[in-house]
Amino acid sequence: MLRKCAALGLPLLLLAACSNDSLDPPAAVPTGNAASATADDGFTYAVIGDRPYTSVKLAEMPQLIAQINADPAVSLVIHVGDIEAGSKTGCLDTYFSSIKDLFDTFEDPFVYTPGDNEWVDCHQYIKSNGLNTPTERLQAIRTLFFPTAGQTLGLNPRHVTTQAGDPVNSAYIENVTWTQGNVLFAVVNIQGSNNDLAPWFLDPATDMPANYLDYPSQADEFAARALADSIWIAQAFDRATRTNARGVVLAFQADMWDPAEPTLDGFDKLVEQIGTLSAGFGHPVLLLEGDSHVWRIDAPFTTGAVVTPTSTLFSSLHPVTPAAPNVTRLVVDGSSSPTSYTRLTINPGRNKDLFTLTRVPLQ
């Protein structure tokens, strides 16, 4: 459900959305405009992703951070992944450290999930990103950006629940969840490049480093993460149902409905699961995505809905697309698109217009 009005001279869209969560919710860290975990309060987050790409976008990051820090409404920031371009970057530790230093200047709690450009695409074959092993790069990203399990980044971090607390899926420190304003948020490691099914190499002798077998293979990585993500999503909706949450918000990197991609079969089971669970939940669900870089709001589980600006039916992109009109999707600006952040405002009370999404350009 979508309603339009105007705010600050920008289009403002009021959407039906839901929240998700899993395991026990963490205690909220008090902030000036924070909502409690369980009251039907209103509050606002900032959402960004797919940045910084290029030297120009990197130079803009301090200004964007300062603008978000100065926004009195914002109480938490979510970055849906991809912190560099997807090819010819080298996936260097020095660059990753410089981005971590920037992220550490956010005044509010900062939630980050890794994108494919910083690990899945870190290989020489096709991407020209040097002799790297993607799963080694994922380990490096986890070590750098997730130094304390169950705690966000930012100058004023907050506690979150991490899947690292599950002995079976303890590697997935980046999968986190929390509850605020009786809305459940869950961050999930879902990747571009067909969810890491695009091949890493043609000939490992030339395309991979000599020690690539010391790290999980692509097949093992995909299988383990697919299971962990499926469990995490199911737990989120289960908890949202049991706690009578107002809504569920899922944040991840991949655009699972990008018709420009040659294949999307790495997302088939996720699309079916999210659609089925959302329909059963019945309250607003919001998906926060990056990957395709063009700001848009749409409804991928609504019968007859099309991917903008094309006329491609969402339902044509996967074998099973359950009907779940309570799901709305946001894709954030990224790459060379105009620099912006999105204000995600959770409105007080219980109604179909649970979320307001406002695109805020860099000033």
Q: Would you state the pLDDT for residue 40? A: 86
pLDDT of residue 186: 98
CA-nearest of 123, 120, 141 to 132 is 123
pLDDT tens-place string over residues 294-347:
999 999 999 999 998 788 999 999 999 999 999 999 999 999 899 999 999 999
**Which pLDDT does position 352 carry in this prediction?**
81
Is 120 inside any structural domain?
no
Entry pTM: 0.90
Domain for residue 137, yes or no? no
Cβ–Cβ < 8 Å for 116, 82: yes
Residue-wise DSSP of 171-184? T-TT-EEEEETTEE
CATH number of the domain where residue 157 is located: 3.60.21
**Residue whose C-alpha is closest to residue 286's, from 339, 230, 342, 335:** 342
Cα distance between residue 244 and residue 233, in whole Å: 16
**Quick one: pLDDT at residue 351?**
83
- Residue 35: per-residue pLDDT: 61
Q: Which domain holds residue 279?
A: 2-81+95-114+149-193+218-361
DSSP state of 139: H
Structural domains of the chain, count: 1
Distance in angstroms (rounded) separating the CA atoms of residues 77 and 342:
10
Distance between CA atoms of 292 and 350, rounded to whole angstroms? Answer: 32
Measuring CA to CA, which residue among 216, 226, 225, 275 is closest to residue 250?
275
In a domain, 34, yes or no: yes
- pLDDT, tens digit, 9 for 90 and up, residues 326-337: 999 999 999 989
Residue in this structure with the two tokens 């480093």, named with its chain if needed: 209
With respect to residue 134, please indicate whether it lies within any of the assigned structural domains.
no
The whole-number pLDDT of residue 86 equals 84
pLDDT at 147: 98
Burial class, 193, CB count within 10 angstroms (exposed 0-12 / middle 13-18 / buried 19+): buried
Kindly state whether residue 126 falls inside one of the protein's structural domains: no
Residue tagged 């039906």 (tokens): 16
Q: Could you tell me if residue 128 is inside a domain?
A: no
CA–CA gap between residue 141 and residue 341 (Å, rounded) = 23
Give me the residues of the chain with pLDDT under 70, please: 1-35
| pLDDT for the residue numbered 39 | 84
